[in-house]
Amino acid sequence: MTTILHLDASARVTRSLSRHLSQRFVETWRAHRRDDRVIRRDLAADPPPHVSEAWIAACFTPPQQRDAAMRAALAWSDAAIAELEQADVIVIGTPMYNYGMPSALKAWFDQVIRVGRTFSFDLARGDRPIEPLMRGKMLVVLSARGEFGFAPGGLRAAQNHLDPHLATCTPYIGVAEEAIHTVAIEFQEFGDERHARSRSDADARVLALAVELARLQPDVATELQAAVTSSSVAPASSAAV
């Protein structure tokens, strides 16, 4: 079984293009893999708290030494990291706001990228002391922009601080650069026929991407067979390993 973590960050609920794309992706996926699980988090409806001094102090206190106030400061982060740990596929529906990610999505990254949980820090590694602890996840970024030309080589490529920022952060949530899939609707503010074309192209690409990635997942029957086989050959002591 595959677990999808479905995040949305648009402040718009009714007319959001990024929510439309992320919903279309997840629904298409579920149509092909009914038994897969979806964990849903609406970052606009339920915004992550901003990092505070108490939060930082709690993070850098060893877990066994944290008092009740420190545990409370980390509660939102703990819950969000638990969701992330379970996820095989992360789907992010997000607008571009002021050429970057919405603050609610940035706050989510600040809450989940945490020392000892999603990365380790060791000065013995010299100039690169930070190392991710999670691996093997896939990320699907479904976004919407009012302007256009944000792809590499485009008119506003240098102003795109959304996709490069996501790509820089995602190793720390277990996603390698080659495991990021991005589809964007552009021209929203122009409302012309270029926008209509961008919408229909994105719709088609999201549909095809969901089908393709869903088909790449291990088959449920194969997973069950593998579980049965490994439990029948596992040594008696394996449960303690």
Binding site for ligand FMN (CB under 6 A): 10, 12, 16-19, 95-99, 144-147, 188
Q: How far is the CB of 181 from ligand FMN (least distance, A)?
A: 18
Pair 170, 121: CB distance under 8 Å: no
Toward ligand FMN, which CB reaches closer, 55 or 187? 187
Kind and range of the H or E run holding 86: helix 75-86
Query: Which among 218, 215, 220, 208 is positioned nearest to 181, based on CA atoms?
Result: 208
52 is in an annotated binding site: no
16 is in an annotated binding site: yes
230 is in an annotated binding site: no
- DSSP type of residue 159: G
Toward ligand FMN, which CB reaches closer, 76 or 99? 99
What is the DSSP code string of 96-157? -BTTB--HHHHHHHHHH--BTTTEEE-GGGTT--EEE----EEEEEEEE-SS---STTSTTG
74 is in an annotated binding site: no
Toward ligand FMN, which CB reaches closer, 140 or 214? 140
Q: How far is the CB of 146 from ligand FMN (least distance, A)?
A: 3
Q: How far is the CB of 49 from ligand FMN (least distance, A)?
A: 21
Toward ligand FMN, which CB reaches closer, 118 or 143? 143
Q: Which residues are annotated as a binding site?
A: 10, 16-18
Q: List binding-site positions for FMN.
A: 10, 16-18
